[in-house]
Amino acid sequence: MLAAATAVVALVVVFLALIVLTDGAGSGLVAWSATLTVAVAAALWRGRRRGTWRARCVPFLPVVVAAVLTASVCVPTVPTARRVPAALPFVTAQHWTLSTGSRVAVYHHPPANSAAPHPVPLVYLHGGPVRGISTLDHRFLRLLARQGYDVYAYEQAGGGRSDLLPMDQYTISRSVRDFDAFIGRLGKGGVDVLGFSSGAVVLTRALADPNVAPRVHRAVIAEPGPMDGPTARLAGHRGRPSARDTAPTVAGPRSTRVPRYATAFALMRFGLLDPDSALVGQAEGVNAFTAADLGSDTASAYCARDAHRIPEEDTARTFSFSPAASLRVQQTIKDSPSIAPQLRGSRTPAMLMIAACSSQLREWATAILADTPGIRRTQYMPGVGHHMWNGLDDNDQRAAAVIDAFLQDEPAPLPNHPKRDDIPDFLRDFAGHR
């Protein structure tokens, strides 16, 4: 039995190595066929001197077991054609083809206060990077619309209800170009922009681009990720404890419990398989990935005290996330040179929002603060995690008040903290959180 188990493990390892070497060719069938051929040949060689046919069949038992196990990696269990999320009941998705070639889903939340609408449109850049806009986000955008803002949002190419791109076109530079093209397509002149998480990275890099920055009237950079390669390689401090390790396990199906997708996503995660490999197609990967797969990441966006009341950010029918495309965009950020020199030339009025319980590195935000002279105020948001507007308590109202005060150039509801000179002391406050 020990020898048989060892043989099965060895064949699985060979199969995985061949998956990597062949880049998942033929949905993994090339690696599977090669592994099976080698295994059958080895079984024939081992059984060649055994007397009875029963004895000669014994070496084939590990081959059969390994063949079944590895075959499960080659068989899709979800549709391989794109499955678009269900329509939202409260806003219609329009589809715009941008000058870059991207076809994106666009949402418009017009100002409910038509008597006194704000004159400058507000554009929302969501997080992800390649996912749909959550229903929680849409509720927050509707709150801003009720306060008189003319709110536009679009799902970045490949996410949500937007069309897919070829995998090699998912780059942070493409995201910035799409943003620029979206503003041009909107045709309303300069816009205020709220960028959240990876959307805040797109906004930050847009401010560093002298061709795009003039289109931005005011910028709100909320909970940014790393803005470039040097920032992505930082090791630093995190915010107050999040709910990552204390929240209940998210219920629902997981793609990571299916051998095919667990293998593909794990190999991509560790950099052993390209996001555009032939093992799992882009559309199939989007169809397979579920909200439960992001369970711990979702929990990390909330304070530890909220661990047992984390709201549902999306339904199973509206959730959409592309793990492969997201990894591809993140890798292009890691590979990019510093944008600090370009940011130092930006004068667009900007505000930085930092959440108290964020799992984001503090240095990702303070690097932007240090290098962006246009940042006029920083709002450190107590009692909230990375997803600052989340429908809990008065979190949405507090976030909206901070954003509204800045966009209207009114006094800030919270102290301007940290300022550039305060960065060392601010980071020192989180020295125990790594």
Write the pLDDT tens digit of every residue in 113-133. Answer: 766 788 999 999 999 999 999
Tell me which long-range contacts 305-310 makes (C-beta under 8 A, separation of at least 24): 306/243, 306/385, 306/392, 307/243, 307/246, 307/247, 307/248, 308/247, 308/248, 309/392, 310/243, 310/247
* pLDDT tops 70 at residue 183: yes
Residue type for 235, please? A
pLDDT of residue 116: 72
What's the pLDDT band for 433 if we cut at 50, 70, 90? Answer: low
Q: Supply the range of the domain harboring residue 56.
A: 2-71
Tens digit of each residue's pLDDT (9 = 90 or more) over 328-383: 999 999 999 999 999 999 999 999 999 999 889 999 999 999 999 999 999 999 99
CA–CA distance, 320 with 317 (Å, rounded to integer): 8
In a domain, 80, yes or no: no
Structure tokens at 363: 């240095």
Are 345 and 236 contained in the same domain?
Answer: yes
Average pLDDT estimate for 185-189 = 95
Tens digit of each residue's pLDDT (9 = 90 or more) over 295-330: 788 999 999 999 999 999 998 889 999 999 999 999
Average pLDDT estimate for 159-171 = 96
Are 106 and 240 contained in the same domain?
Answer: yes
In a domain, 86, yes or no: no
In a domain, 311, yes or no: yes
Are 318 and 420 contained in the same domain?
Answer: yes
In a domain, 275, yes or no: yes
Going by their DSSP bridges, the two strands 151-155 and 103-109 should be labelled as antiparallel
What's the pLDDT band for 7 if we cut at 50, 70, 90? Answer: confident
Are 103 and 67 contained in the same domain?
Answer: no
Are 183 and 303 contained in the same domain?
Answer: yes
SS3 content of the chain, % helix, strand, coil (to 5): 45, 10, 45
Average pLDDT estimate for 393-412 = 97
CA–CA distance, 109 with 345 (Å, rounded to integer): 33
* pLDDT tops 70 at residue 51: no
* pLDDT tops 60 at residue 434: no
In a domain, 87, yes or no: no
In a domain, 250, yes or no: yes
DSSP state of 352: E
